[in-house]
Amino acid sequence: MTIAKWCVLIACFLPSVTALLPKISSPRQSLKDGQYDNNNPREWQSKLIGWQKRAIAAHSNGYEALPLFIAAVIFAQMSQSDQSRIDLLAMIFVALRVMYIAAYLMNFGGLRSLIWAAAMAVNVGLFFM
């Protein structure tokens, strides 16, 4: 399996990891009231505050970013472009997504937007290889 395919797999799991962070954090720090409710997770999410609320937003954005990345990797590999270049760009995308999550959690909106734009540029680069 190519490094790019591993990167797709990692990118698919990043949103789940991001959503897990508020669930395992201290309830007093993450909620206005109460603990995680697995029977009603959407209501629980609506009560989150601070970085935990931003983690859920990063979780949603992670799933929004996946389709273009997956398509870009598939199309780049279908075009039989240089695999080492595809792998490099895929690794850069995953690194940028990790930085995006960190910037989101730390509430650095401007930096987060720049990282998002860089990740989109990587996708476009992959797409047109």
DSSP annotation string for 36-101: --TTSHHHHHHTB-HHHHHHHHHHHHHHHHHHHHHHHHHHHHHTT--HHHHHHHHHHHHHHHHHHH
When pLDDT is cut at 50, 70 and 90, the band that residue 79 belongs to is very high
Give the whole-angstrom CA distance, residue 36 versus residue 86.
40
The residue type of 43 is: E
Q: Cα separation of 32 and 109, whole Å?
A: 23
Residue 109 has pLDDT above 70, yes or no: yes
| Rounded Cα distance, 74 and 46, in Å | 36
Which residues face 31 on adjacent strands?
A: 48
pLDDT of residue 26: 58
Residue of higher predicted confidence among 29 and 2? 2
Mean per-residue pLDDT over the chain, rounded: 91
Of the pLDDT bands very low, low, confident and very high (cuts 50, 70, 90), residue 46 is confident
> 117 vs 33, which has greater pLDDT?
117
90 pLDDT more than 70: yes
pTM over 0.85: yes
User: Which residues have C-beta within 8 Å of that of residue 21, sequence separation ≥ 6?
Assistant: 52, 55, 105
CA atoms within a 13 Å half-sphere pointing along the CA-CB vector of 9: 6
Domain residue ranges of the chain, discontinuous segments joined by +: 3-20+51-127
**What's the pLDDT band for 24 if we cut at 50, 70, 90?**
confident
The percentage of the chain sitting over the pLDDT mark of 70, rounded to a whole number, equals 91
Span 8-12, mean pLDDT? 98
pLDDT band at 41 (very low <50, low <70, confident <90, very high): confident
Residues 86 and 73: beta-carbon distance below 8 Å: yes
Classified as helix, coil or strand, 31 is strand
